[in-house]
């Protein structure tokens, strides 16, 4: 299980801060500008340098960090900027867990293939906990 922290245009600053605090190796960072080009969903110039995803290792925990630009992510409210990440072992496991979490919850991003994962989706469960479901 991993942890995901979302920020409003401060992810790069937060990453640098946490690297210093926890004396970690430099995080692996992908910006929105690093995404493959998509004519149907072009990346706004103002977002190209924002962090789309990063992975910071603190002890044995993966702490993923990203910016949450308006229109590309659910609105960021301090308190909902922490999510739990479940890394599934199979399509069946990812699908079952996603569907169970979605019961009486809200699908924020449907479970589907992305350029970084075989399956990825985001769901807020019935208790308000946000989950990222991954299958790499």
Residue predicted with more confidence, 39 or 72 = 39
Classify residue 39 by its DSSP letter: T
Contact 134, 120 (CB under 8 A): yes
Indicate where the chain has its CATH 3.10.180.10 domain(s).
1-80
Residue with tokens 């990825």: 120
**pLDDT for 66 beyond 90:** yes
Give pLDDT tens digits for 14-40: 999 889 988 899 999 999 999 888 888
Q: Which CATH architecture has domain 1-80?
A: Roll (3.10)
Q: What are the backbone dihedrals phi and psi of residue 40, each rounded to the nearest 5 degrees, phi first?
A: -75, -25
User: Closest Cα to residue 101, out of 133, 135, 78, 66?
Assistant: 133
Output the pTM of the full model.
Answer: 0.70
Let me know if domain 88-136 sits in CATH 3.40.50.300. Answer: no
DSSP secondary structure letters along 78-134: TTSSEEEEEE-SSHHHHHHHHHHHHTTSEEEEEEE--SS-SEEEEEE-TTS-EEEEE
What's the pLDDT at 89?
93
Parts of the chain belonging to CATH 3.30.720.110: 88-136
């Amino acid at each position: 299980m991993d942890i995901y922290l979302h920020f409003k245009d401060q992810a790069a600053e937060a990453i640098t801060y946490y690297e210093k605090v926890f004396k970690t190796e430099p995080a692996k960072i992908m910006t929105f500008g690093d995404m493959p080009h998509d004519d149907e969903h072009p990346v706004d110039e103002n977002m190209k340098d924002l962090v789309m995803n990063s992975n910071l290792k603190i002890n044995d925990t993966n702490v993923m960090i990203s910016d949450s630009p308006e229109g590309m992510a659910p609105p960021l409210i301090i308190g909902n900027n922490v999510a739990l990440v479940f890394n599934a072992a199979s399509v069946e496991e990812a699908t079952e867990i996603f569907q169970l979490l979605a019961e009486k919850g809200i699908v924020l991003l449907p479970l589907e293939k992305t350029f970084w994962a075989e399956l990825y989706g985001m769901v807020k469960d019935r208790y308000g906990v946000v989950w990222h479901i991954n299958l790499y």
